[in-house]
Amino acid sequence: MTSQLPPTIITHTGRSVDLPVKRFYAPFEVSAACPDCGRVCVRDLSTNYLGYPVVGEPFDLRLTCFDDEGEETGHEWSVRVRLDMTLTLVEAG
């Protein structure tokens, strides 16, 4: 007789987690309009890292405006973001 095993369950604890990584590169781009000139600016987190991020805690992400030649315009501002983490069960198959 074969007994059925209970399912595997993944539960988020709701706690924040420090990532002890000085330079955390992530596969995200953050695009936002510059509040001074309206130009859409992009921060690529795969090349412009997060420093010591805390998973699950909101933080201010700095953005810098660049002109068409790639020069800084002097406009800087922050957007409020949160880095979340997901753990997904992958069935062997």
State yes or no: pLDDT of 23 exceeds 80: yes
Q: What is the dihedral of CA 49, 47, 27, 61, to 10 degrees?
A: 40
**The dihedral formed by the CA atoms of 44, 27, 60 and 78, expressed in degrees to the nearest 10:** 30
Distance of CA 17 to the CA centre of its chain: 14
Burial class (CB in 10 A: 0-12, 13-18, 19+), 77: middle
- CB under 8 Å to 61, separation ≥6 — which residues? 30, 43, 50, 78, 79, 80, 81
pLDDT of 78 reads: 97
45 domain-assigned: yes
The arithmetic mean of pLDDT across residues 73-89, rounded, is 94
> Does 50 reside within a domain?
yes
Say if 92 falls within a structural domain: no
Whether residue 76 lies inside any domain: the answer is: yes
Assess if residue 41 is contained within a domain: yes
Q: Is residue 48 part of a domain?
A: yes
DSSP state of 35: T
Structural domain includes residue 27: yes
* Phi, psi angle pair for 66, to nearest 5°: -120, 145
Do the domain assignments include residue 10?
Answer: no
Look up the domain containing 31 and give its range.
Answer: 18-81
What's the total number of domains in the chain?
Answer: 1
Predicted TM-score (pTM) of the model is: 0.80
Predicted pLDDT at 27: 95
